[in-house]
Amino acid sequence: MKRLLLRSGQFVKAAQRLVRKRPWTAAALLESLQLLADDAFHPLLRTHKLKGKLAGAWACSAGFDLRIIFEFVTYQGEEAILLLTIGTHEEVY
């Protein structure tokens, strides 16, 4: 089931900063976002639920060391994904 991707302000800033610092990550990011919209539990994404201070959120892989943090939400009566932030493993956890 295809889901709408909603971008938080924090996600937009983090993604812009990431692509400026590491332009080669842009293609992997776009591919991961497309997979996430199409199937949030695609095996390549390695989607998993988070614990601790990020309990209730989910994470998926967007390349070797990149993680996208997101939540499942309802938007205009439809299931959607709210993108919270993106960064390296150390930056987001």
Look at the pTM and tell me if it is higher than 0.85: yes
Share of the chain above pLDDT 70, in %: 100
Q: Where are the domains of the chain?
A: 4-92
At residue 49, does pLDDT exceed 80?
A: yes
Task: Flag whether pLDDT at 63 surpasses 90.
Answer: no
DSSP 18: H
Strand order in the sheet with 48-49: 4-7, 78-88, 66-75, 58-61, 48-49
Q: Write down the CATH superfamily of domain 4-92.
A: RelE-like (3.30.2310.20)
Rounded to an integer, what is the distance from CA 67 to the centroid of its chain?
A: 6
Q: What is the pLDDT of residue 92?
A: 87
- Residue linked to tokens 């993108």: 83
